Chains A and B, each alone.
Chain A
Amino acid sequence: MPKRTDISKILILGSGPIIIGQSAEFDYSGTQACKALKSEGFEVVLANSNPATIMTDPEFAERTYIEPLTREYLEEIIRVEREISPSPGFAILPTVGGQTALNLAVELSDGGILDKYDVQLIGANIAAIKKAEDRLYFKDAMQKIGLDVPKSALVNNLKDGLEFAGKIGFPVIVRPSFTLGGSGGGIAYNREELLDVLARGLDFSPVHEALIEESVLGWKEYELEVMRDLRDNVIVICSIENFDPMGVHTGDSITVAPAQTLTDREYQVMRDAAIAVIREIGVETGGSNIQFAVHPATGRMVVIEMNPRVSRSSALASKATGFPIAKIAAKLAVGYTLDEIPNDITRKTPSCFEPTLDYVVVKIPKWQFEKFPGADESLGPQMKSVGEVMAIGRTFKEALLKGVRALDTGKKIGSEKIEPKILTQRLVTPHPERLSYIRYALRQGHTVKNIAKMTSIDPWFLYQLKEINDMQLELEKHPMGSIPTDVLRDAKRMGFSDGRLAGVWRLDGKGAQEKIRHLRKKNRLTPVYKRVDTCAAEFESYTPYLYSTYEEEDEATPTKKKKVIILGSGPNRIGQGIEFDYCCCHAAFALHDDGYETIMVNCNPETVSTDYDTSDRLYFEPLTLEDVFAIYEHEASSGAPVGVIVQFGGQTPLNLALPLKAAGVKIIGTSPESIDLAEDRKRFNKLLEELEIPQAPGAMAASIEEAVAGARSVGYPVLVRPSYVLGGRAMVIAYDEETVVRYMKEAVEYSQDRPVLIDHFLEDAIEVDVDALSDGEDVVIGGIMQHIEEAGIHSGDSSCVLPAVDIPGHLLDRMRDYTFKLARALKVIGLMNVQFAIPRSNGSKANGDEGGKVYVLEVNPRASRTVPYVSKATGVPMAKIAARLMTGRKLREFLPEFIERAADLDTGSCYFVKSPVFPWNKFPGVDTVLGPEMKSTGEVMGVADNFGEAFAKAQLAAGQKLPTSGTVFISVTDHDKPHVAELARRFVDMGFKLVATTGTADVLEEAGMSLERVYKVKEGRPNAVDLIKGERIQLIVNTPQGPDPFFDEKAIRRAAVTARIPTITTLSAARAAAEGIAALQRGELNVRALQQLHAERVLENKL
């Protein structure tokens, strides 16, 4: 069937900010969909609130709306778009934007908006979405087509519950009906527990009803990725087997493709079932993911669930097979059939086939519990990982070991802390450290059978781990000097890294890996590169999508073209997320256009950078010194000039910069020495002194004594942190010596090489981020972003606004001046980010003679998290320009007028507010306080011609809906009291009631406002928490100061999060919120396409 001609415009829904469970994979799928549909000649319109995405780059759509993904804003976008094109043929594609987009589609349909504007859904229909998403409809549908599902019954009393549980056997799962996010549910292992859990569940359910379901915990878990076209052709793209059994969320499971322990007969039964499911649910075109559980002893197979859309697993399946699911799904949605779409990789064969793999793919999740002290670290039905790595090897063992080293944990294999006492617990209860404990158990001589029993992990997988352990033992038998070549070869083929081999022979420190590398080369052991080609080499492959392995034949003969290797950022994590992938992709796009062969190295399957058509060559490899250097050597072996970019991928590649350079690799852009200088406290201090740039007093410490002395000399409060980290890992503000001592004892590892940094903490200061471009001579500032939260809150966790709203001009000039000086002094070639703090006290005295002081907090001569945001706001692709500067081009070629005028990049007449998004709801019980360690997983942007509306939009997009009426709870510090009346008045004028604690209440009453007094939590009851829980409060303004905010009043914060009440912790943010609320009250709902904003800017500049 050819392309549909009855559609001309397609609105693609994005997935919004990165959150746990919905990550960069939807940038990947959305970008593919945009590209595919645009190339088919459709007018593509995009809605997504996340500015850090590639898909929201202006060239990927006709019009890009970076707006909140809510029904109201979507309706406005649809209305505007309908006005632009009154003719029919307007469709929405909701299947490439995760659950967010799918839910939005249902809301738009249920709200009658699709009908009202005559817009149709493509890719999925409402009936199919509902059938797949509603647990009961889904069960009915499965039973109708004769497929088995876990046995279940709805009950509304304890007696029926007990009776049913008796019939199906314990344990059972209790799921209360109509509760949000499964709250009130649980597992019961016996009658007594069931009475408890069921009583609570019934209580939670507004209709006093609960589902009792047969437990499939410990069963084997499988997933199939299925695609269907309008002619009812159905194909299975990939089978995935989970290493972890049922009970662990698939996003938190180690997964393996293809399935390893199913016979053909069992696999084909599963395939038949998957095909029946997609047909019965009625997904007419596109991809779906179907999950199965299989009983390990009987083979009974049950259907667990289905996602009628592109999912995280389909992104993984795309990367695992080379089959671009999202792109094909988009094409199927507009009428093509699978046989009409060619396979990009083989070119000669069609996409209507089932990929076959001659390698094994392993995905391993990455968790960051260290950032959430107090969180429950056990793995269960709720996903907790923040990112993942994928590794490709010729065997499961090789892929697994590559994946483990790709995780970039900073820990050496075998050096993990193992507590033998809790071995059983760690094996029985799924936990992120499971692999380490299995390794330990094997080393202790536990049998595979025994471990299988405890972990419910398939014995085949465990046997592979045993073989790895056996190899480790074999290696340990030989001294390094006399290791037989064939043993070394077997170890490398099994996936042992040079680092791990260094560990076997207890080589330590610098040069350890190098020694192994020399040993390897002496034994003629170097990796070759094989292609991912969808067809197990049956047909020739035209896409150099590569992975390393220790085999005979290499399939990646390097070209003689001048080339640039771009090091990606590895697994997503807090502080190192999609923003860096964005920059890496931009480097690839720009340098390809400049005639370079672009070579990407990354191991994150969720990203656009690991798409095979983002760069000229893709090495899907761990970002370790061994793997990257091997790629470099391979590529350089043709004699072609090779440059390596390390400054775009965040900390992971930066950590490789110096060792790579030492090994003879040419790093392009800012030199690794300059990058290092900015991190090296002593040398950096000296530089700032020379440049006469003020910074908060600081010290370094490599012992507790030095830390105490240092803190005393710089003056409390102090900011303490390790060197060389991103995202404020293990960074705290200490108000006293006790905290500093405790920090040095518990929190971090440090050494003379990597001391702890101690800075005086500037309280009550405005923090500012500056991004700049530099070619070493000229410098252009991309944006001066004013943080809405004050200094002390990690910049990634702070909302910020572009342009700055209330920083006096001369201070802006001072920051520009410092930025220029720093860029030149550090010889920055590419991007640079500077963070400043402006103490409010002197800022307000700005008209005084001294004019206020600006302190430099830190300088990062590399891409920062804000680059995509600034690029979206200014319409200037900063990362692309930076990449070109690194190849020797000059800033004058790109931004001459800004250099002439010494002007910042332009943001036109709009304000652009960036707001963070936090994972609190995934970690119940964790304190939600913000501090110097970054906790947010993603970000959104709000755009408007006034600050208030932009802020309100950003908050809304981040899931914080500012109220338009109700009661505001206000409690501010003494310092803020002089300004609080003015703020409160605004709320009163807007019709809000006030509730305040004593001190604040006094000030407000004195100013003539009436209010209700409430106790502080410590004072007595009823207190603020009681009012929050009683739904009496709609907005919280609570500005804390001193040690209290960071260690106290946790209850208020937690209660507010649970009740989803916006909480504002600074007066400036409160003022912003007031402006936002005013904008909401005006009822204005404006949407703006990025392209339009950028076009207006060009026009203005010409005038």
Chain B
Amino acid sequence: MQAILALEDGRVFRGKGYGAKGECYGEVVFNTSITGYQEIFTDPSYCGQIVVLTNPEIGNYGTNPEDNEATRPYIEGLIVREFSRVSSNWRSQQVVEEYLEQFKIPVLAEIDSRALVRHLRDHGVMRGVISTLESDPEKLIAKARSIPKMDGQDLAKVVTTNRPYVWEVGERSHEPVEVVGVKDAPPRFHVVAYDFGIKQNILRKLRGEGCKVTVVPAQTPAEDVMAMKPHGVFLSNGPGDPEPCTYAVDNIRRLMGRHPIFGICLGHQLTGIALGGKTFKLKFGHHGGNHPVKQLNTGKIEITAHNHNFAVDPDSLPQSEVELTHMDLNDSTLEGLRHRNLPLFSVQYHPEASPGPHDSHYLFKDFVKMMEEWKG
């Protein structure tokens, strides 16, 4: 099956199509993780995006239910160099092609994916279309230009849960306890987690630290959250531009100082805005599992998982209130902040990993400690 990727700037890549037949549209971004394609497929933060994986061999280890970060894949389309038709791993239950086809996700393979990545690196992320139906590139380029831009889009409210629920191990995910290290210990804290596109592993990590987690829709008013009398509030990752999520910013402002707050990724960006800061779009974002992030107070470095196109401008934050805690060593962008007086911190990257290194798991402990102190 032939397939074409057309980008809004007119560049076209022709390759072979796998997975679902049809067309998909989105912002084309690249991810440099070597492992973890299944987690990437199912990360709701990729809503609205077509993902190019730089690792050229994808699909080798198949898929399994435990490694899902959500109940379904969120990427719009997948682009790889070599797509494995078979899988080999003791946990694999379904080959990737079948899995993606089931969720109607097209795959473009056997293109010069490195050339595409270099193009995105040099010209920035852009809109694109993958089609297995249309062979006229001009038509596809025109389509790419017609889809809405990511900037200004509130996708959190698209992917969020439509009603609150209490997350339990084994309920929404099926992994055996020993794999994720979550013991069924009686929870010591109650955390309300705003779902802007939350990944399962965040919930697992919170649960593993002894938190009962109630997941609530993105637009849940702060008052409703307060009424649940949580020990802490968590602000999740998610897709899209943070700026249009004004409801979330308002809610965060109202919750600040009343409950310990911990934000990740989109949750961090929203926190930054709530603190008076501004966000901006990165040229091609950070998507990968190898970013060095420095803890500014200790000088220690964590190798971290990233997935963001937007970042908080550190100069826009009120220095008297906000302490900058983490910085990316590759491009010196802001990766973490803490309020100087209130129980509030957030990070731009993904301490829950999945996929990615586990160096930053400590942040979940920090959150628990913060809740302990606040409680005490």
Contact = CB atoms under 8 A, between A and B. Distances in A.
Interface stretch (B82-90, B127-135, B218-226): B82-90
Contacts of A265: 66-67, 179, 354
Given A358-B56, A536-B117, A553-B114, A232 B81 contact: no
Contacts of B56: 358-360, 394-395
Interface stretch (B28-36, B142-150, B229-237): B28-36
B363 interface: no
Contacts of A259: 34-35
A514 B329 CA distance: 50
Contacts of A357: 34, 55
B119 to A, nearest CB: 9
Interface in B260-290: 288-290
B15 to A, nearest CB: 10
Contacts of B114: 358, 394, 530, 536-537, 551, 553
Given A258-B34, A299-B90, A460-B88, A263 B61 contact: yes
B113 A354 contact: no
| Chain A interface size, under 10 / 10 to 19 / 20 to 34 / 35 or more | 35 or more
A459 B91 CA distance: 14
A299 B178 CA distance: 13
Nearest to B284: A538
A352 B329 contact: yes
Interface of B is mostly: loop
Most chain-B Cβ atoms within 10 A of its Cβ — which of A239, A263, A296, A353?
Answer: A263
Contacts of B330: 348-350, 353, 539
A220 to B, nearest CB: 10
Contacts of A360: 56-57
A358 B36 contact: no
B329 A353 contact: yes
Contacts of B86: 459-460, 463
Contact of B300 (A232, A261, A552): A232
Contacts of B88: 261, 458-460, 463
A918 interface: no
Contacts of A539: 121, 330
Interface stretch (A267-275, A637-645, A1031-1039, A1088-1096): A267-275
A396 interface: yes
B67 A261 contact: no
A264 B90 CA distance: 14
B55 A356 contact: yes
A270 to B, nearest CB: 10
A1099 interface: no
Contacts of B299: 231, 337
A302 interface: no
B199 to A, nearest CB: 13
A356 B289 CA distance: 9
A752 interface: no
B22 interface: no
B81 A354 contact: no
Interface in A414-429: none
A338 interface: yes
A231 B354 CA distance: 26
Interface in B65-93: 66-67, 81-82, 84-91
A233 interface: yes
Interface residues of B, number: 57
B214 interface: no
Interface in A340-362: 348-350, 352-360
A480 B85 CA distance: 29
A235 B303 contact: yes
Nearest to A458: B88
Given A394-B56, A460-B60, A551-B112, A264 B32 contact: no
Interface in A259-288: 259-268, 271-272
Nearest to B288: A356
A433 B153 CA distance: 59
Given A264-B354, A357-B55, A552 B303 contact: no
A356 B61 contact: no
Contact of B54 (A264, A352, A356, A395): A356
B190 interface: no
Interface string A177-213: 0000000000000000000000000000000000000
B357 interface: yes
B36 A264 contact: yes
B90 A296 contact: yes
A337 B295 CA distance: 14
B34 A356 contact: yes
A268 B61 contact: no
A261 B117 CA distance: 24
A261 B81 contact: no
Contacts of A349: 292, 329-331
Most chain-A Cβ atoms within 10 A of its Cβ — which of B66, B86, B87, B331?
Answer: B86
A400 to B, nearest CB: 12
B123 interface: no
A438 to B, nearest CB: 16
Nearest to B287: A538
A355 B118 CA distance: 17
Nearest to A452: B88
A462 to B, nearest CB: 9
A269 B332 CA distance: 29
B60 A260 contact: yes
B358 A267 contact: no
Interface in A199-257: 231-233, 235-236, 239
A84 interface: no
Nearest to A354: B290
Nearest to B86: A463
Given A233-B301, A354-B303, A263 B38 contact: yes
Nearest to A554: B115
A263 B89 contact: yes
A359 B32 CA distance: 12
B291 interface: yes
Contacts of A359: 56
Interface in A644-686: none
Contacts of A394: 56, 81-82, 114
A408 to B, nearest CB: 26
Contact of B35 (A264, A296, A337, A555): A264
A339 interface: yes
Given A394-B81, A536-B32, A352 B90 contact: no
B27 interface: no
A1100 B274 CA distance: 80
A395 B57 contact: yes
B356 A268 contact: yes
Contact of B292 (A231, A296, A352, A538): A352
Interface in B331-364: 331, 353-358
B59 to A, nearest CB: 10
A339 B54 contact: no
Interface string B277-320: 00000000000111110100001110100000000000000000
B54 A537 contact: yes
B39 interface: yes
Given A258-B55, A339-B292, A263 B358 contact: no
Nearest to A235: B303
Given A233-B301, A268-B358, 20 more contacts: A235-B303, A258-B34, A259-B34, A261-B61, A264-B289, A264-B356, A295-B90, A339-B292, A350-B329, A354-B290, A354-B357, A356-B54, A358-B113, A358-B114, A460-B61, A536-B32, A536-B114, A536-B288, A539-B330, A552-B112
19 contacts: A262-B61, A263-B89, A265-B67, A268-B358, A298-B90, A338-B292, A338-B301, A349-B330, A356-B54, A356-B288, A395-B82, A458-B88, A460-B87, A463-B86, A530-B114, A536-B54, A536-B117, A538-B30, A538-B121
Q: Which 5 A-B pairs have the closest CB atoms?
A: A264-B36, A553-B115, A264-B355, A536-B54, A460-B88
Interface of A: 231-233, 235-236, 239, 258-268, 271-272, 295-299, 337-339, 348-350, 352-360, 394-396, 458-460, 463, 493, 530, 535-540, 551-553, 555
